[in-house]
Structure 1
Amino acid sequence: MFDHRIHNFNAGPAAIPLPVLKKAQEEFLNFKGTGMSVMEMSHRSKEFEAVLARALDGVKNVMGVPDDYSIILVQGGASLQFSMVPMNLALPGKKIDLIQTGAWTQKAEKEAKKHAEVNIAATTESENFMRLPRPEEIKLTADAAYVHMCSNNTIFGTEYHWLPDTKGVPLVADMSSNICSRELDVSKYGLIFAGAQKNLGPSGVTLVIVRKDLAERADKKLPSMLQYRTYIAENSLYNTPPTFGIYMLALTMEHIQETGGLKATEARNVAKANTLYEAIDGSKGFYRCPVNKADRSRMNVNYRIYKGDTANEDLEKQFVKEAEAAGLAGLKGHRSVGGLRASIYNAVGQDSINALVAFMNDFARKNG
């Protein structure tokens, strides 16, 4: 039944661990003897509340979330968080600092400006976001309401391997594309948010981890559905949640724990990224990664095919077409940057990386 699985490099929705899919398949029609699917049961039932507890406890245990933080599950994707964060965390008369590193921080800036003055603390837009700002380039406001950053840039293929020093100002991180891919200290952040569809499960669920005191900043006149405190008070059950997505999140957290936690996950991700980048850098210029080496993402690997000193779009189109025929899906780069992109999230195994590298080497031999 699983003989025809392809190598999935899609940027999101993305690969889900096969053991998670198999477990969901086993329980799909009859969840734990209830005679119904998780998708059919009431979100107020004791059976689903147990599923929700598994998901929330799984996040807490896997990520080491401190007790003074709340873990909530909302809808609307990370894009809704571009509005919810300033609605809840902005303070009268104070600026929001934002580190501009690509499309997702640009969208966050647009929404934040509707609620407060935004200070662009640093930007690399003039370099097409092919590197991150250096620490000395970031000019923060001393009394900002918070600092917004995107920890990994899916489109441009950059990732922070360090954190800006915000001098005690709460740090908000959009972690949609590298959540749970590495160890981290949650206490260094005021708020973390992430869409589920890259490392946590299927689309439809958004994870928010917020320091409890920050959740109390919001004006109580803000619509209930847009207040973090509403979800905290109601344990993410204020309205009907995406029950199946939460169930899949629970299974994914359990899978991470069963396979060694974030330390082992990070080690696998480092090995995968190193294998792919070494193939690119070792291709004698046929493949080239435009991203500053120190800022390269472990999750989204961008590269181009060159003939001489020029990127060759015809060869890139041929590469994508032949790769799909060979069972390697999702390798076309984002339309705003072109080229090729391999998204190698947690569920993409080393076997898929090896298959991609073998294909790349063969393609280069035939077309170089």
Structure 2
Amino acid sequence: MITFYPGPSKVYDEVGQYLQEAFESGVISANHRSQEFMQMLEKTIHDLKIKLAVPDDYEVYFVSSATECWEIIAQSLIVESSLHIYNGAFGEKWMDYTNKISRNTAESPFELNEVLVLHESVVRKNEVVCITHNETSNGTKVSDDFFANIRKRLPNVIAVDATSSMAGVILPWENADVWYASVQKCFGLPAGMAVMIVSPRAIQQAVMVGERKHYNSLLFTRDNFLKFQTPYTPNTLGIYLISKVMQQVPAIAEVDFRTKERAKSWYSFLEHNGYQLMVENEAVRSDTVIAVRDAKERIAVLKKAAKQEGIILGNGYGKEKDTSFRIANFPAINDNEIATLREFLARMALKTVNE
């Protein structure tokens, strides 16, 4: 099957080989306090920072999932409250989960086709500002200009969910303080691990909060990663695989160019073939998750026919679950697979016209 599901999504073709190498090397059986493991972790972090152009003074941690990142931020960085700026289901879920821990969240929702503009009146001094960079549920993105503007105007810690964009496009690292992503999307890896990247400003706030009550407290996590260890027994295989993928992939500037060119081509192809794009405003269309809307019955026919031909389309999500499908535009998906899906979609579009 060829999968275009937007997470968990297709893993790089080479991952099968890397799994065998991991087994044969013995590293996945190594003690996570051993020199062998610590050397691997150090190299993995180094390679990731180089390939993704992460600033030198930002620190990289590996945790279990993006959902765990919600928990770490809520426990270890919130002083008084958090502000959640969102236009989709995952941004809203982040807010709901945070509220269960901190019980003091504020929200600033915006519309699907809206270009996000900061209204400083909604931001309070001690809030952690939480933004979803790329909303997987509806195929929208927040522009780099917004992040540059908010960084210039606010001293707050800014946390960003980049689950559907990290390792797929260039991120404006220095314009936010916590970036996190699960690896089952643009990293092209199996689910079960997340990358969390934090700035000196975020670390300073964590020190001020001083929270050390949990196994995954940010300060406890940092103490261990500074020694190239982990606060709990890690996903050693996941760390090994991300190390191998970071060695394999080109620099993020090249990946970014390819991702965006593919996205332009996808949007043009879909419109040319009569498909209705969920996001009408080109300025806020995601480069990595493409959402298409249609009647419920038509969506069901498309997904069923695709599956019969060995193609998995992504389901819609939330209120658009039955009236849309999503296409992952992640780096691990190759040109032949894209050509196969396009041929299918073009054929189905023609069939609809003839009917």
Q: Could you state the TM-score of these two structures normalised by the residue count of structure 2?
A: 0.88
Partner in structure 2 of residue 7 of structure 1: 2
* Structure-2 separation of matches of 1:79 and 1:155: 15
The within-5 A match list for 1:132-211 is: 132-135=114-117, 139-141=121-123, 143-162=125-144, 163-164=146-147, 165-166=149-150, 167=153, 168-200=155-187, 201-211=189-199
* Structure-2 separation of matches of 1:9 and 1:84: 30
* Structure-2 separation of matches of 1:208 and 1:143: 24
SS at match of 2:215: helix
Say whether residues 1:83 and 2:77 are aligned partners: no
* Structure-2 separation of matches of 1:221 and 1:237: 17
Give the one of 12, 16, 23 matched to 2:11: 16
Partner in structure 2 of residue 243 of structure 1: 236
Q: What displacement does 1:132 show?
A: 4.1
The within-5 A match list for 1:192-341 is: 192-200=179-187, 201-218=189-206, 219-235=209-225, 236-256=229-249, 259=250, 261-283=251-273, 285=274, 287-291=275-279, 292-305=281-294, 311=295, 313-334=296-317, 336-337=319-320, 338=322, 339-341=324-326
* Structure-2 separation of matches of 1:202 and 1:67: 27
136-145 or 47-56: bigger deviation: 136-145
* Structure-1 separation of matches of 2:86 and 2:77: 19
SS at match of 1:245: helix
Give the one of 55, 66, 71 matched to 2:44: 55
* Structure-2 separation of matches of 1:356 and 1:226: 41
Q: What displacement does 1:297 show?
A: 1.0
* Structure-2 separation of matches of 1:335 and 1:91: 31
SS at match of 1:18: coil
Give the one of 44, 51, 56 matched to 2:33: 44
Higher relative helix content: 2
Say whether residues 1:123 and 2:109 are aligned partners: yes
Q: Could you state the TM-score of these two structures normalised by the residue count of structure 1?
A: 0.85
111-120 or 166-175: bigger deviation: 111-120
Q: What displacement does 1:367 show?
A: 2.1
* Structure-1 separation of matches of 2:31 and 2:341: 43
* Structure-2 separation of matches of 1:134 and 1:192: 19
1:83 alignment partner AA: E
* Structure-2 separation of matches of 1:83 and 1:7: 34
The answer to whether the 8 A contact 1:272-1:353 is kept is: no
How many correspondences in the alignment?
338
SS at match of 1:17: coil
2:175 alignment partner AA: K
1:243-272 per-residue CA deviation (whole Å, 9 max, x = no partner) reads 11111111121122xx3x111101111122
Q: What displacement does 1:7 show?
A: 2.5
Q: What displacement does 1:221 show?
A: 4.9
Partner in structure 2 of residue 101 of structure 1: 87
Give the one of 330, 350, 353 matched to 1:365: 350
Distance 1:157 1:185, change over 3 A: closer
Q: What displacement does 1:178 show?
A: 0.6
Distance 1:320 1:172, change over 3 A: same
